[in-house]
Structure 1
Amino acid sequence: MIYHVVPLAEWNAGPDRPYAPASLATDGFVHCSPDEAATLAVVNAYYRGAPRPLVALLLDEDRLTARCVWEAPDPAPPPGVAAGTLFPHVYGPVDREAVQRVLEVRWDDGGRATRLL
């Protein structure tokens, strides 16, 4: 299972078609994380100002029709993620059938993501 972070409104915008975030057009792939800890680090580094509620899609790699490649982050992993950690990149839209769970990002009083529920 891999994780992808998205504002809930964006995820709900096209329930009848595969999910294709802006990064697919700009970067050529959908950014994902390898586990919950890395996902929270990504949220705290890049998504603190994103529209809320913010959710993490738990994706079953075997149910994706697009190619998923584990690659090094460029230029470096976010703070709190060990150097050498590989991140899954999905080179095409995410099939909604691959989404096994939708977990909401929970925040502490200081505005930091602390867990997924």
Structure 2
Amino acid sequence: MTKGLDLCLDNLTKLEAKAPRVAREAVTEVAQEFKKELEVNTPVSDELTLTRLKEDIKISNFKKGGDAPSKDIGFGRSTGWRAKFPDSGTIYQKAQDFEEKTINAITPRAKEIYKNKMREVLGK
């Protein structure tokens, strides 16, 4: 998975150099796709008093610095600290690995989005 991610970031850096607006559009599109997939994979608690993880997924603004544009996608402040328990598991509950499942599911789609955006810019 690391090789694929490195290739995505390299291509995104090239795209950023040629067409920054299109690169930002690609990152935003991938972030939206990731959010949808995370909502599907996130387990739902039976507790009615707590804000559910699924209902508190956030996408950040573009991060400054770095070679390529990027956004953070994850859970909000009120629920983010709880996400590690169902994801990694505890002595009372089996790990559900929903974050890893989401990354593995969205990586091919992200590569496809970046490839299509690069084709738009480079005309290949």
Fold shared per TM-score above 0.5: no
Which one has a bigger Cα radius of gyration? 2
More strand by share: 1
Q: TM-score range by the shorter chain?
A: under 0.3
Which has the bigger relative contact order, CA under 8 A and spacing at least 6? Answer: 1
> Hey, which of these two has a bigger chunk of helix by percent?
2
